[in-house]
Structure 1
Amino acid sequence: MGIVGDSITKAAENTATRPIPKSAGARMRFLLKKEKGSTRAVARRLGCTQRTVERYVRGDLKRPRPALAARLAEEVRKDWQPRVRKEAMAKAATRTGIVVETRARFGFTAAAGSTDDPRMRRITELLPPQVAARLLAARETGANEGDLRAIVAEGLQEQYFKDNGRRATGLQVEFTDLDYIEMSL
């Protein structure tokens, strides 16, 4: 996924109310439970052998190599507390919205006499629940990175640049050269 999609995923992961298991064995047992006891499926997800998974579950191995440790933590985070994540997304889509912090180049199409030269800006803005709902729904349906960026740009255009319709009517914002973006639900 792209930078905006990854940011949404990270925001959802940060809603967890408990930390993920610490030890490699506990993480393996968690994945094994999620895969309904199939060591083969866990091994496929981690890119290791079935025997390696069994050794961690039994406690024969305790410290994975850095590459396996990173994959193990990533896979556990994907499945950790799905109900909490779902509730946080539903709350953002209906009541609270999403806070977006970004640094990107913003250019404008506006009335004559205004400056429309694109420039880098760092913006932190709360996007309303309607925009959050569109963004989360687009991500769930598999929208590409360009579509997600367009939704974020439209939300920033309305909230930050147009002040929710109180100024700059007719302004169109271009969202390019995305340096970073972070979101929180």
Structure 2
Amino acid sequence: MDDQQHARVSALLRHKPFDGLGREERTLFTRPTPKSAQARMKFLLTRAKGSTKAVAERLGVSRRTVERYRSGAAKTPQKRLQEALMQETESHRQPQVRAQARQRAGTSGGFVISCRAYFGFGPEGTSDAGRVRDLMVAVSPSHASAILAAQESGATDKDLHALVAEAIADAYFRQGGGRRASLEVQFADVEWLDIKF
């Protein structure tokens, strides 16, 4: 794969595994996420023990902006701040619920990964040649644990993509062992990817 193709594949893969995990975690929440900018700001301030400085740094705004949204003086954030508020609120929402689901996935439950992507592992002109496939596979707890550990340790999109690719390859393409155990699987051009606990 040349540099131009690699750059194109990297652009297509950007954030797909992280987004898939994030969407699934949001479905686990037992209480609704705050909707208004004021409610989200108050939530973040509660999590930061009232530190406007900490919240301002996380959101990339001034302390005065944090104060204005907390008091209700400002109500409609610009798009960048609105996205940052949503992302920060959801990433700090119900940590115990998230931790329990991650623990279950990493020890006994595993994941179910659904995706539409390019898979290939054989020469052109054969039935094993690369093509776009829709797959839904159950991934072992050991693979789920590795993916979650990598995400928590700050892995890059590329690192996480490699772990997801390996998990799918083991669960779907290398199943049964024998000659298939050493099968090299290509996983690229991810159109969508969902992960269920």
TM class by shorter-chain length?
Answer: 0.7 to 0.9
Out of 121, 133, 146, the position equivalent to 1:121 is 133
Q: Please identify runs of 4+ aligned residues in structure 1 that moved more than 6 A.
A: none
**TM-fit CA distance, 1:166:** 8.2
Question: Helix, strand or coil: the match of 1:14?
Answer: helix
Distance 2:155 2:189 in 1: 20
Identity among equivalent positions (%) equals: 42
Higher alpha-carbon deviation: 139-148 or 69-78: 139-148
What's 1:157 paired with? 169
**TM-fit CA distance, 1:88:** 0.7
Question: Helix, strand or coil: the match of 2:28?
Answer: coil
Distance 1:147 1:66 in 2: 29
Q: 1:84 to 1:164 in 2, by over 3 A?
A: farther
What's 1:179 paired with? 191
Q: Please give the TM-score of this superposition, normalised by the length of structure 1.
A: 0.84
- CA deviation vs aligned residue, 1:74-94 (integer Å, no higher than 9, x gap): 211111111111111111111
Aligned residues: 183
Q: 1:59 to 1:99 in 2, by over 3 A?
A: same
Q: Which AA in structure 1 matches 2:76?
A: R
Q: 1:137 to 1:68 in 2, by over 3 A?
A: closer
**Mapping 1:127-166, distance limit 5 Å:** 127-165=139-177
Q: Which AA in structure 2 matches 1:83?
A: Q
Q: Please give the TM-score of this superposition, normalised by the length of structure 2.
A: 0.79
**Mapping 1:16-165, distance limit 5 Å:** 16-109=29-122, 115-165=127-177
Distance 1:72 1:144 in 2: 22
Higher helix share: 2
Distance 1:164 1:94 in 2: 22
Query: Which structure 1 residue ranges, 5 or more long, are not aligned?
Result: none
**TM-fit CA distance, 1:143:** 3.1
**TM-fit CA distance, 1:9:** 3.2
Distance 1:146 1:72 in 2: 26
The two structures, once aligned, show a CA RMSD in angstroms of 2.5
